[in-house]
Amino acid sequence: MHLDPELLWLAGGIIGLLVLSSTITFFLKLRSGGKPNAVVANLDARVKAWWVMVAVFGVALATGVIGSVILFGLMSFFALREFITLTPTRAGDHRTLFWAFFIVTPLQYYLVGMEWYGLFTILVPVYAFILVPTRSALAGDSEHFLERTAKIQWALMVCVYCVSHVPALLTLKIRGYEGQNSKLVLFFVLVVQISDVLQYVWGKLLGKHKIVPTISPNKTVEGFWGGVLSATGIGTALWWATPFNWWQAGLLSFLITLMGFFGGLVMSAIKRDRGVKDYGTLIEGHGGVMDRIDSLCFAAPIFFHLVRYFFT
């Protein structure tokens, strides 16, 4: 089997980062001297969960389109589950929800897997858009009808449609980059997630001025710029693994970190509105699946379209 050395460098870099994070956490735990410290305990849980997530993601990516479609399909399913649980629906939506979970979600990923671009880009915005209100109307309950329909449609858009654009990156035919798309996925996920982590780190170190305190008390101007700029720097420095040159890689990194911030902010607004801190409890230290992929939601379709438009 031929192993792409660039891919190995990326993987090695990520593992190096994890080792570094685990080492730092270890010394922080030593310094707190056995006294329970909430921030360190949370950091420890987060780093451990990162190891697991990286391992799962690595296995998925190594098995190509099929593995990635299955992994992201499952993440969409779990995210949708968390999202709909938080969103009040009524008995009349039951069969609509059954369709959303067991027909629309698998079909979206099936279409991505078979590389049917023309249909997977319109399945949720057009066909689910018609299916959802029709099925709920057939159930005969008109109470809060528009609200319920809008919530289910939005849940499908954000949890399923948007997220499915990550594995869809594997199906892009980029000139001179054939068979190397897993590096593109790795680049995308790495830049968006590291921007999240770095915004958290910069925010903890220097954060003073809150951006939108009514929505997310942890997001600060210092954290935002520190995270976005340093993640953009990392993205730029990784240009060699992508089909882009250095400034293209930098510009795209800047755009996706920005989109990542917007995604996180919007998902926070929804959590605030529902009066919860996290979407779920599946991932130790992080919350639910939706809490971890909130920044991917808006960034994925934008990145997909930009790459498809300019590089294929």
Partner 1 sequence: MTKDFAAWIIRVICGVKLLPAEALPATPAIYFANHSSHLDFTTIWAALPSPVRARVRPVAGKDYWEKTARRRRIARDFFNAVLIERQHVTIASNPLEPMLAALDAGDSLIVFPEGTRSLDGQVHEFKSGLHHLARARPRVVLVPIYLQDLNRILPKGDFLPVPLLGSLSLGQPLHLAADETKAAFLQRARAAVQAMAH
The one-letter amino acid code at 127 reads: Y
Segment interacting with partner 1 (CB under 8 A) among 51-59, 76-84, 119-127, 171-179: 76-84
The footprint of partner 1 on residues 274-293 (CB under 8 A) is: 280
In sequence order, the 6+-apart residues with CB closer than 8 A to the CB of 311 are 172, 174, 175, 177, 243, 244
Asked if 290 and 267 count as a contact pair (C-beta separation under 8 A), the reply is yes
**Of 138, 127, 146, whose CA–CA distance to 94 is shortest?**
138
Report in angstroms how near the CB of residue 288 gets to partner 1 at its nearest: 9
Nearer Cβ to partner 1 (82/196): 82
Report in angstroms how near the CB of residue 90 gets to partner 1 at its nearest: 9
Quote the tokens at residue 23. 């080492």
Instruction: State which of residues 46, 81, 135, 286 lies at the interface with partner 1 (CB under 8 A).
Output: 81
Nearer Cβ to partner 1 (185/290): 290
| Total Cβ atoms within 10 A of residue 130 | 9
**Of 184, 262, 264, 197, whose CA–CA distance to 231 is shortest?**
197
Report in angstroms how near the CB of residue 91 gets to partner 1 at its nearest: 5
The footprint of partner 1 on residues 82-121 (CB under 8 A) is: 82, 84-85, 89, 91, 94-95, 97-98, 101
Residue 139 touches partner 1, criterion: CB under 8 A: no
Distance CA 218, CA 165 (A): 28
* Residues 36, 40, 45, 47, CA torsion sign: negative
Nearer Cβ to partner 1 (243/280): 280
Nearer Cβ to partner 1 (134/281): 281
By CB under 8 A, name the binding residues for partner 1: 81-82, 84-85, 89, 91, 94-95, 97-98, 101, 280
